[in-house]
Amino acid sequence: MIVVTTPTGDVGRQVLDRLLDSGEPVRVIARDPSRLPEHVRAQAEVVEGSHADADTIAKALEGADRLFWLVPPAGFRDAGPAENHYLDFTRAVAQEAAGRGVRMVHVTSLGHGYIGEAGLLSAALAMDELIESAGAQYRALALPFFMENILRQVHPIAQQGVFSLANTADRPLPLVATQDVAAAAAALLLDATWKGQARVPLVSPDDLTPDAMAEIISESLGHTVRYRQVPLADFQARMVQHGASPSLAQDMAGMVHAQNNGIYDAEPRDPAPATTTDFRQWCQDVLKPAVQS
Protein backbone atom coordinates (compact mmCIF):
# COMPACT_ATOMS: atom_id res chain seq x y z
CA MET A 1 0.00 0.00 0.00
CA ILE A 2 1.30 3.44 -0.99
CA VAL A 3 0.14 6.50 0.95
CA VAL A 4 0.11 9.87 -0.83
CA THR A 5 -0.03 13.27 0.85
CA THR A 6 -1.04 16.54 -0.88
CA PRO A 7 -3.09 14.64 -3.50
CA THR A 8 -4.51 17.87 -4.97
CA GLY A 9 -1.20 19.77 -5.00
CA ASP A 10 0.93 20.59 -8.03
CA VAL A 11 3.30 17.67 -7.43
CA GLY A 12 1.12 15.36 -5.37
CA ARG A 13 -1.67 15.06 -7.95
CA GLN A 14 0.84 14.13 -10.66
CA VAL A 15 2.46 11.51 -8.42
CA LEU A 16 -0.97 10.14 -7.56
CA ASP A 17 -2.08 9.80 -11.18
CA ARG A 18 1.10 7.88 -12.05
CA LEU A 19 0.59 5.52 -9.12
CA LEU A 20 -3.06 4.91 -9.96
CA ASP A 21 -2.07 4.09 -13.54
CA SER A 22 0.35 1.46 -12.19
CA GLY A 23 -2.44 -0.53 -10.54
CA GLU A 24 -0.78 -0.45 -7.11
CA PRO A 25 -3.12 -0.01 -4.11
CA VAL A 26 -3.10 3.64 -3.08
CA ARG A 27 -4.39 5.53 -0.06
CA VAL A 28 -4.55 9.33 0.10
CA ILE A 29 -4.73 11.76 2.99
CA ALA A 30 -7.06 14.65 2.22
CA ARG A 31 -8.23 17.44 4.47
CA ASP A 32 -11.23 17.96 2.17
CA PRO A 33 -12.06 14.75 0.23
CA SER A 34 -14.66 16.62 -1.85
CA ARG A 35 -11.78 18.34 -3.67
CA LEU A 36 -10.47 15.02 -4.95
CA PRO A 37 -11.26 14.21 -8.60
CA GLU A 38 -13.89 11.55 -9.14
CA HIS A 39 -11.39 9.04 -10.56
CA VAL A 40 -9.28 9.34 -7.39
CA ARG A 41 -12.25 8.73 -5.09
CA ALA A 42 -13.15 5.71 -7.21
CA GLN A 43 -9.66 4.15 -7.25
CA ALA A 44 -7.98 5.12 -3.97
CA GLU A 45 -8.75 4.76 -0.30
CA VAL A 46 -9.26 8.12 1.37
CA VAL A 47 -8.28 9.08 4.90
CA GLU A 48 -9.83 12.40 5.85
CA GLY A 49 -7.70 14.79 7.88
CA SER A 50 -4.47 16.73 7.98
CA HIS A 51 -1.20 14.89 7.52
CA ALA A 52 0.20 17.04 10.33
CA ASP A 53 -2.11 15.22 12.74
CA ALA A 54 -0.59 12.22 14.54
CA ASP A 55 -3.83 10.21 14.65
CA THR A 56 -4.46 10.79 10.94
CA ILE A 57 -0.93 9.68 10.10
CA ALA A 58 -1.22 6.55 12.25
CA LYS A 59 -4.50 5.64 10.56
CA ALA A 60 -3.15 6.29 7.06
CA LEU A 61 0.03 4.26 7.58
CA GLU A 62 -1.76 1.21 8.98
CA GLY A 63 -0.78 -1.65 6.66
CA ALA A 64 1.19 0.65 4.35
CA ASP A 65 4.79 0.19 3.29
CA ARG A 66 5.51 3.31 1.20
CA LEU A 67 4.73 7.00 1.60
CA PHE A 68 4.96 10.11 -0.56
CA TRP A 69 5.55 13.03 1.80
CA LEU A 70 5.31 16.73 1.02
CA VAL A 71 4.78 19.56 3.50
CA PRO A 72 2.24 21.99 2.05
CA PRO A 73 2.94 25.73 2.11
CA ALA A 74 1.55 27.64 5.04
CA GLY A 75 0.00 30.15 2.65
CA PHE A 76 -0.38 33.75 3.77
CA ARG A 77 -1.69 32.85 7.21
CA ASP A 78 0.62 33.62 10.12
CA ALA A 79 2.03 30.18 10.89
CA GLY A 80 5.18 31.58 12.46
CA PRO A 81 8.67 30.72 11.23
CA ALA A 82 8.76 28.24 8.36
CA GLU A 83 10.96 25.83 10.29
CA ASN A 84 8.27 25.45 12.97
CA HIS A 85 5.69 24.75 10.26
CA TYR A 86 7.84 22.07 8.60
CA LEU A 87 8.85 20.35 11.82
CA ASP A 88 5.34 20.43 13.31
CA PHE A 89 4.07 18.73 10.18
CA THR A 90 6.79 16.11 10.14
CA ARG A 91 7.37 14.96 13.75
CA ALA A 92 4.56 12.41 13.84
CA VAL A 93 5.22 10.94 10.41
CA ALA A 94 8.96 10.57 11.02
CA GLN A 95 8.34 8.45 14.11
CA GLU A 96 5.47 6.45 12.59
CA ALA A 97 7.36 5.71 9.37
CA ALA A 98 10.45 4.60 11.27
CA GLY A 99 8.46 2.46 13.70
CA ARG A 100 6.38 0.77 10.99
CA GLY A 101 9.18 0.31 8.47
CA VAL A 102 7.47 2.55 5.94
CA ARG A 103 9.81 3.80 3.21
CA MET A 104 9.42 7.52 2.54
CA VAL A 105 9.94 9.49 -0.65
CA HIS A 106 9.84 13.15 0.33
CA VAL A 107 10.27 16.53 -1.31
CA THR A 108 12.96 18.84 0.01
CA SER A 109 15.44 21.47 -1.14
CA LEU A 110 18.76 21.12 -2.88
CA GLY A 111 21.47 22.72 -0.78
CA HIS A 112 22.48 20.26 1.93
CA GLY A 113 25.68 21.57 3.52
CA TYR A 114 24.93 25.25 2.98
CA ILE A 115 26.21 27.46 5.78
CA GLY A 116 23.84 30.27 6.66
CA GLU A 117 20.16 31.05 7.03
CA ALA A 118 18.02 30.22 4.01
CA GLY A 119 14.42 30.84 5.09
CA LEU A 120 12.05 28.28 3.58
CA LEU A 121 14.97 26.21 2.34
CA SER A 122 16.48 25.99 5.83
CA ALA A 123 13.11 24.72 7.02
CA ALA A 124 13.09 21.95 4.42
CA LEU A 125 16.65 20.94 5.31
CA ALA A 126 15.74 20.86 9.02
CA MET A 127 12.88 18.52 8.10
CA ASP A 128 15.40 16.20 6.41
CA GLU A 129 17.47 16.05 9.59
CA LEU A 130 14.37 15.17 11.61
CA ILE A 131 13.40 12.32 9.26
CA GLU A 132 16.96 11.02 9.20
CA SER A 133 17.38 11.13 12.97
CA ALA A 134 14.11 9.22 13.47
CA GLY A 135 15.62 6.33 11.51
CA ALA A 136 13.09 6.17 8.68
CA GLN A 137 14.21 4.77 5.35
CA TYR A 138 13.90 7.52 2.75
CA ARG A 139 14.81 9.01 -0.57
CA ALA A 140 14.86 12.81 -0.35
CA LEU A 141 14.14 14.49 -3.68
CA ALA A 142 16.40 17.54 -3.43
CA LEU A 143 15.00 20.24 -5.68
CA PRO A 144 16.22 23.62 -6.98
CA PHE A 145 14.20 26.47 -8.52
CA PHE A 146 10.84 25.32 -9.92
CA MET A 147 10.13 26.29 -13.52
CA GLU A 148 6.50 26.61 -12.44
CA ASN A 149 7.44 29.68 -10.37
CA ILE A 150 7.32 31.55 -13.68
CA LEU A 151 3.62 30.71 -14.03
CA ARG A 152 2.92 33.26 -11.28
CA GLN A 153 4.12 35.86 -13.80
CA VAL A 154 1.74 34.93 -16.63
CA HIS A 155 -0.18 38.22 -16.58
CA PRO A 156 2.81 40.60 -16.61
CA ILE A 157 4.48 38.40 -19.23
CA ALA A 158 1.40 38.53 -21.45
CA GLN A 159 0.41 42.14 -20.83
CA GLN A 160 3.70 43.96 -20.15
CA GLY A 161 6.38 41.70 -21.61
CA VAL A 162 8.18 41.44 -18.28
CA PHE A 163 8.62 39.09 -15.35
CA SER A 164 10.07 40.04 -11.98
CA LEU A 165 11.93 38.20 -9.25
CA ALA A 166 14.43 39.18 -6.57
CA ASN A 167 16.97 36.69 -7.93
CA THR A 168 20.22 38.07 -9.31
CA ALA A 169 19.81 38.65 -13.04
CA ASP A 170 23.12 37.11 -14.09
CA ARG A 171 23.47 34.25 -11.59
CA PRO A 172 22.57 30.81 -13.02
CA LEU A 173 19.88 28.83 -11.24
CA PRO A 174 19.49 25.07 -11.56
CA LEU A 175 15.88 24.33 -12.53
CA VAL A 176 13.36 21.53 -12.35
CA ALA A 177 9.84 20.93 -13.73
CA THR A 178 7.17 19.44 -11.47
CA GLN A 179 6.36 16.74 -14.03
CA ASP A 180 9.91 15.42 -13.64
CA VAL A 181 9.66 15.54 -9.85
CA ALA A 182 6.46 13.50 -10.02
CA ALA A 183 8.02 10.99 -12.40
CA ALA A 184 11.02 10.48 -10.12
CA ALA A 185 8.84 10.18 -7.01
CA ALA A 186 6.51 7.65 -8.60
CA ALA A 187 9.43 5.58 -9.90
CA LEU A 188 10.95 5.39 -6.42
CA LEU A 189 7.62 4.53 -4.82
CA LEU A 190 7.14 1.69 -7.29
CA ASP A 191 10.71 0.39 -6.83
CA ALA A 192 10.87 -2.33 -4.17
CA THR A 193 14.66 -2.67 -4.22
CA TRP A 194 16.05 0.40 -2.44
CA LYS A 195 16.78 0.60 1.27
CA GLY A 196 18.45 2.99 3.70
CA GLN A 197 18.67 6.76 3.54
CA ALA A 198 19.78 8.84 0.57
CA ARG A 199 19.30 12.17 -1.15
CA VAL A 200 18.38 12.36 -4.85
CA PRO A 201 19.20 15.76 -6.41
CA LEU A 202 16.91 16.49 -9.35
CA VAL A 203 17.95 19.14 -11.87
CA SER A 204 17.05 19.85 -15.48
CA PRO A 205 19.56 19.80 -18.35
CA ASP A 206 20.09 23.56 -18.11
CA ASP A 207 21.17 26.03 -15.41
CA LEU A 208 19.94 29.46 -16.51
CA THR A 209 20.18 33.03 -15.30
CA PRO A 210 16.90 34.95 -15.13
CA ASP A 211 18.17 37.01 -18.08
CA ALA A 212 18.67 33.81 -20.08
CA MET A 213 15.20 32.61 -19.08
CA ALA A 214 13.79 35.86 -20.47
CA GLU A 215 15.52 35.21 -23.81
CA ILE A 216 14.08 31.71 -24.08
CA ILE A 217 10.62 32.92 -23.04
CA SER A 218 10.82 35.62 -25.72
CA GLU A 219 11.75 33.07 -28.39
CA SER A 220 9.00 30.69 -27.28
CA LEU A 221 6.27 33.34 -27.25
CA GLY A 222 7.44 35.24 -30.32
CA HIS A 223 7.67 38.61 -28.59
CA THR A 224 10.18 40.28 -26.33
CA VAL A 225 10.01 39.49 -22.63
CA ARG A 226 12.58 41.03 -20.32
CA TYR A 227 13.61 40.26 -16.77
CA ARG A 228 13.33 42.89 -14.04
CA GLN A 229 15.23 42.27 -10.82
CA VAL A 230 13.44 43.56 -7.74
CA PRO A 231 15.53 44.63 -4.72
CA LEU A 232 15.22 42.03 -1.99
CA ALA A 233 13.94 44.54 0.56
CA ASP A 234 11.22 45.66 -1.88
CA PHE A 235 10.30 42.03 -2.55
CA GLN A 236 9.84 41.41 1.17
CA ALA A 237 7.86 44.61 1.70
CA ARG A 238 5.56 43.87 -1.24
CA MET A 239 4.75 40.44 0.16
CA VAL A 240 3.54 42.04 3.39
CA GLN A 241 1.56 44.64 1.42
CA HIS A 242 -0.17 41.81 -0.44
CA GLY A 243 -1.21 40.08 2.76
CA ALA A 244 1.70 37.84 3.72
CA SER A 245 2.63 37.60 7.37
CA PRO A 246 5.94 39.24 8.31
CA SER A 247 7.40 35.82 9.17
CA LEU A 248 6.48 34.37 5.77
CA ALA A 249 7.88 37.41 3.97
CA GLN A 250 11.11 37.09 5.94
CA ASP A 251 11.38 33.36 5.16
CA MET A 252 10.77 34.00 1.46
CA ALA A 253 13.39 36.74 1.42
CA GLY A 254 15.81 34.43 3.23
CA MET A 255 15.27 31.80 0.56
CA VAL A 256 16.00 34.21 -2.29
CA HIS A 257 19.06 35.57 -0.51
CA ALA A 258 20.39 32.03 -0.19
CA GLN A 259 19.66 31.34 -3.87
CA ASN A 260 21.60 34.47 -4.76
CA ASN A 261 24.38 33.31 -2.45
CA GLY A 262 24.77 29.89 -4.11
CA ILE A 263 22.84 27.51 -1.86
CA TYR A 264 22.16 25.12 -4.73
CA ASP A 265 25.89 24.82 -5.39
CA ALA A 266 26.56 23.64 -1.83
CA GLU A 267 25.28 20.11 -2.42
CA PRO A 268 27.32 17.81 -4.68
CA ARG A 269 25.42 16.42 -7.63
CA ASP A 270 26.13 14.49 -10.79
CA PRO A 271 27.03 16.92 -13.61
CA ALA A 272 24.75 14.95 -15.93
CA PRO A 273 21.11 16.11 -15.83
CA ALA A 274 18.88 14.02 -13.59
CA THR A 275 15.67 15.02 -15.39
CA THR A 276 14.65 15.36 -19.03
CA THR A 277 12.60 18.55 -19.34
CA ASP A 278 14.68 21.59 -20.26
CA PHE A 279 13.38 25.14 -19.86
CA ARG A 280 12.74 25.68 -23.57
CA GLN A 281 10.57 22.57 -23.76
CA TRP A 282 8.73 23.59 -20.61
CA CYS A 283 8.04 27.02 -22.08
CA GLN A 284 6.54 25.41 -25.19
CA ASP A 285 4.50 22.81 -23.30
CA VAL A 286 3.39 24.74 -20.22
CA LEU A 287 4.12 28.48 -20.24
CA LYS A 288 3.06 29.29 -23.80
CA PRO A 289 -0.43 27.71 -23.45
CA ALA A 290 -0.87 29.48 -20.10
CA VAL A 291 0.05 32.87 -21.60
CA GLN A 292 -2.16 32.35 -24.65
CA SER A 293 -5.14 31.38 -22.52
Sign, CA torsion 148/151/157/163: negative
Residue 101 to residue 105: CA distance in whole angstroms: 13
SS3 content of the chain, % helix, strand, coil (to 5): 50, 15, 35
Task: Give the pLDDT of residue 82.
Answer: 84
CATH code linked to domain 2-146+175-203: 3.40.50.720
Nearest residue to 110 (alpha-carbon basis) of 272, 271, 264, 262: 264
Mean pLDDT of 203-222: 96
Task: Give the SS3 label for residue 104.
Answer: strand
Which tens digit of pLDDT belongs to each residue from 168-210?
Answer: 999 999 999 999 999 999 999 999 899 999 999 999 999 999 9
Q: Where are the domains of the chain?
A: 2-146+175-203
Mean pLDDT of 10-25: 94
pTM of the model: 0.93
Distances (CA, A) of 141 to 70, 201, 204: 10, 6, 13
Mean pLDDT of 246-269: 92
Residue 85 to residue 68: CA distance in whole angstroms: 18
Mean pLDDT of 225-239: 93
Task: Give the pLDDT of residue 213.
Answer: 97
Tell me the average pLDDT of the chain. Answer: 92
Sign, CA torsion 71/182/199/269: negative
Which tens digit of pLDDT belongs to each residue from 132-179?
Answer: 999 999 999 999 999 999 999 999 999 999 999 999 999 999 999 999
- C-beta separation of 203 from 269 below 8 A: yes
Which tens digit of pLDDT belongs to each residue from 41-88?
Answer: 999 999 999 888 899 999 999 999 999 999 987 765 566 788 888 999
Task: Give the pLDDT of residue 103.
Answer: 97
Which tens digit of pLDDT belongs to each residue from 96-129?
Answer: 999 999 999 999 999 999 999 999 999 999 999 9
Task: Give the pLDDT of residue 244.
Answer: 81
